[in-house]
Chain A
Amino acid sequence: MNYRRAFLRLLAGYALLFLILTSGSAFAQNGGELRFCLRSEPKTFDPLLVDDDSSLSIRYLTGGVLVRVNRHTQELEPELAESWKVSQDGKQITFKLRRGISFSDGTQFFADDVAFTMQRLMDPALHSSTGDAFRSGSGAVSTKIIAPDQISVTFPAPLAGLDRLFDQVAIMSARSPKKEAAVLGPFMVAEYKAGSSVLLRRNPNYWKKDSHGRRLPYLDSIRLDIQPNRDVEMLRFKRGELDLINVIDSDYFDRLAATSPQLAHDAGPSLDSDFMWFNQVASAPIPEYKRAWFRSTNFRRAISQAINRDDLSRVVFNGHAQPAVGPVSPANKFWFNSRLKAEPYRPDAARQRLQADGFHLQNGALFDKEGNPVEFSIVTNAGNKPRERMAVMVQEDLGKLGIKVNVVTLDFPSLIERISQKFNYEAAMLGFRNVDLDPNGQMNIWLSSAEDHAWNPQQKSPETAWEAEIDRLMRAQASTADPKKRKESFDRVQEIVAEQAPFIYLVNQNALSAVSSAVEGANPGILSPQTFWNAERLTLNASARASR
């Protein structure tokens, strides 16, 4: 009888062991090591000084934030803050914090950590680009600790979309001797080999648990290899040495999809856009008659109508791009003006617009009303193959109207110097890598006084009525906390941009990524970081875990 009981106990033990060893993610606390590449050296591990993609990735994986924009739904979700409330005037935000949370080094998390972080973030001596987003007007930002788990932050002027800005603020400890090494996120930096790799390990004190009550993250560690060469990155991915590629080009994507379609993910149009614009700066060293062309709405609209965006999407991006509508990608669900459509390819309409401005054809070449041949150069950055191909296609499209376009590729520093300091260019083609859903992130582009108002920056007063109207609308949307009113204002901005074409939007590239079949729980999206936005819930399958 005893033997029988012992045998049954042994059997039950083996069964339990078998279940544990063969179970999936429900038991997958030992999630193994995820591996992917950073394309450059991280410039800093200080979460408040982050300004580059690699440091951003590390901040996302290690930093704990009060609220988080869900990269899939685009909705704001509570994190370290249980709840929050923005005041009617948009100047103050009050957070109710979770209790019983510790930093990775065991230091307790309280409201004074939030106060410390905000004071450091807003210190002008720190020169934090994250902090710049919070600078609403002259005057100091003040914090008030209402209780150990409650804090309010007051700004000198209203900040539209205030709560969403906290998605970028990783809370630092006010008391920990480890400073930025003490983190509240799912992982912590364990090892950094300059020029080689960054190793992140699971934060043992991470506060979040899954629906089964198991502490997150599932993974043991993440190894980030520093690898700027995309060919090498793809080869390593194909060999199974890497688990993710966050962003890949359409060429690589198609090659991967041809052999392993289950690994290639196209999440649809991203927030990024490629566009071109004409130099309208009054003091630019370009002939006066060309400035007159570039300042003509008819001319800009004609150019826009003569570009075949469908061809650009299909030929340059192998169909992994959509003709761009305007400054907001359709991927930005809330802020996109759905009444607008991408400019269709209409060369005949373009010719009519040019004729209305006095342009005429002569022996196949286009001349303006003063008899000047229509010829201009498009500068773009050397080395960006898709952009160079787009420029060549635009060159051919405009050639059909009799316009001679010279494509000039320049190294990036020379290009930036020309378009932002010397204004010694005629037209430029660049891209906008948008990480912010809120239009406030584009204030530096749309205000006529802004430095990044590319076609005619730093105007003392708006030089055109439509720019004055954009200024008014952008300020109006920034000064109210009412999302509906903000949307109305920004919708109108998008309409004016479509009517005036200061930027000629070309395409929105799709968010393309690669995820190894070894990774479980991945759901690539369009917002950065596309593949590891839910890193705390990613696991590796049993065979991948066993091999590492």
Chain B
Amino acid sequence: MNAARKLACVVVLAVCAVSLAANWLAPAGYAKQFREAPSAPPSRQHLLGTDEVGRDRFARVLYGTRISLLLAPAAALVSTALAALIGGLAGYLGGIWLRLARGFTDLFLSLPWLFLLIAVRALLPLNTSPLVSVLITFLILGLLGWAASARVLSTSADALRNSDFVLQARASGLHGPRLFFVHVLPNLKPVLYAQFWISIPVFILAEANLGILGLGVAEPLPSWGSLLRELEGMISFREEWWRLAPLLLLIVVMTSFQTLLSNEEVTA
């Protein structure tokens, strides 16, 4: 592990640790409205000032980071598992199954996913608590985000299907699920890891996009999406630099993820 990757690893871990300690670091909470001080600049009481309705921005950044950083990997796990199931299996089976799976994946990739997300989000029951809404949002992201990974995995599994060691295993009488789980899937691991890590920033940004449209995590729960949305209409960065904190955090975390990904597993 080179120095840059070590640093990236430290940054990601530090951000995770700080966000998990939000209860102690920001006792005011993310929802309390200090209505006598809306849009206040940084102060001892509010380290990053307050938002438009007087909520402590520091607390919101910490809690928002916790939500985005914990749930994006969960969504990535769901999408990678689906991708492994659909893409990996289709590549392993080959023939008509591979063509069908690729056709289905291409069809899924061609769908305007943002509109699809908006439509699915609008169909959800209205009386869901903010916590449930955030879980649903990331679950939807996970369920809809498998296609690109599945395409990569189907190609890799297709290549493995005709590899010498799989042919040898087949010649030894190994067939069906056992061959897939014992010989094919373990060799897909590097690709699966890479797809998992790649998906995390994608889902964080997707939630941010939904948040910008006002369709992400429900109020008063914060997320990076809703925090970034506050930057809309910001004209002077010099006067209100502290409002850029969530954006800077997003850039730092995304860069760290990309640095962590730049290893042999991804390039494999």
Contact = CB atoms under 8 A, between A and B. Distances in A.
Interface of A: 230-231, 234-235, 249, 251-252, 255, 311, 314-316, 375-377, 379, 382-383, 385, 388-389, 391-393, 395-396, 404, 406-411, 414, 424-426
Given A235-B235, A315-B53, A389-B52, A376 B127 contact: yes
Interface string B143-170: 0000000000000000000000000000
A251 to B, nearest CB: 6
Contact of A316 (B53, B122, B233): B53
Interface string B210-228: 0001110011100000000
Nearest to B232: A385
Contacts of A425: 126
Interface in B133-190: 133
A411 B235 contact: no
A255 B218 CA distance: 29
Given A393-B33, A395-B219, A411-B122, A382 B214 contact: yes
A193 B74 CA distance: 50
Contact of A406 (B122, B129, B213, B236): B129
Contacts of A316: 52-53
A234 B232 CA distance: 13
B126 A406 contact: yes
Interface string B90-130: 00000000000000000000000000001000100011111
A251 B133 CA distance: 29
Contacts of B33: 392-393, 396
Contacts of A376: 127
- Which of A395, A404, A408, A409 has the most chain B CB within a 10 Å cutoff? A408
Contacts of B233: 230-231, 249, 251-252, 385
Interface size classification for chain B:
20 to 34
Q: Which 5 pairs from chain A and chain B are nearest by CB? A: A382-B214, A414-B122, A377-B126, A409-B214, A407-B219
B42 interface: no
Contacts, number: 76
B53 to A, nearest CB: 5
Given A230-B233, A385-B232, A408 B126 contact: yes
Interface of B: 31, 33, 35, 38, 52-54, 118, 122, 126-130, 133, 213-215, 218-220, 232-233, 235-236
A389 B53 contact: yes
A253 B230 CA distance: 17
A143 to B, nearest CB: 48
B130 A410 contact: no
A377 B126 CA distance: 6
B128 A406 contact: yes
A142 B218 CA distance: 56
Name the prevailing secondary structure of the A interface residues.
helix
A249 B233 CA distance: 11
A408 B218 contact: yes
B122 A231 contact: no
- Which of B54, B122, B215, B219 has the most chain A CB within a 10 Å cutoff? B219
Contacts of A231: 233, 235
B213 A388 contact: no
Contacts of A389: 52-53
Nearest to B230: A385
A504 B207 CA distance: 33
A383 B31 CA distance: 20
Given A230-B233, A407-B219, A411-B122, A382 B130 contact: no
- Which of B53, B126, B236 has the most chain A CB within a 10 Å cutoff? B126
A360 B144 CA distance: 43
- Which of A379, A389, A391 has the most chain B CB within a 10 Å cutoff? A389
Given A315-B35, A406-B130, A407-B220, 10 more contacts: A230-B233, A252-B233, A255-B236, A376-B127, A383-B214, A392-B53, A393-B53, A395-B220, A404-B129, A426-B126
Contacts of A385: 52, 232-233
A320 to B, nearest CB: 13
Given A316-B53, A376-B127, A426-B126, A388 B214 contact: yes
6 contacts: A235-B235, A385-B52, A389-B53, A393-B53, A406-B126, A411-B118
Nearest to A404: B129
Contacts of B219: 388, 391-392, 395, 407
- Which of A230, A249, A395, A425 has the most chain B CB within a 10 Å cutoff? A395
Contacts of B220: 392, 395-396, 407
A255 B126 contact: no
Contacts of B122: 410-411, 414
Given A395-B220, A407-B218, A410-B122, A377 B127 contact: yes
B215 A411 contact: yes
A388 B215 CA distance: 11
Nearest to B128: A406
A379 B121 CA distance: 13
B127 A234 contact: no
A389 B127 CA distance: 19
Contacts of B232: 385
- Which of B33, B127, B215, B220 has the most chain A CB within a 10 Å cutoff? B127
Nearest to A376: B127
A391 B52 CA distance: 13
Contact of A382 (B31, B38, B215): B215
Contacts of B214: 382-383, 388, 409
A473 to B, nearest CB: 34
Contact of B213 (A235, A383, A426): A383
A314 B54 CA distance: 12
- Which of B53, B213, B218, B236 has the most chain A CB within a 10 Å cutoff? B53
B127 A409 contact: no
A498 B215 CA distance: 33
B201 to A, nearest CB: 24
Nearest to B118: A411
Contacts of A383: 213-214
Nearest to A235: B235
B214 to A, nearest CB: 3
Given A252-B233, A393-B33, A406-B129, A315 B213 contact: no
A409 B225 CA distance: 14
- Which of A314, A409, A424 has the most chain B CB within a 10 Å cutoff? A409
Nearest to B54: A315
Nearest to A259: B236
A288 to B, nearest CB: 15
Contact of A379 (B38, B126, B133): B126
A281 to B, nearest CB: 15
Contacts of B129: 404, 406
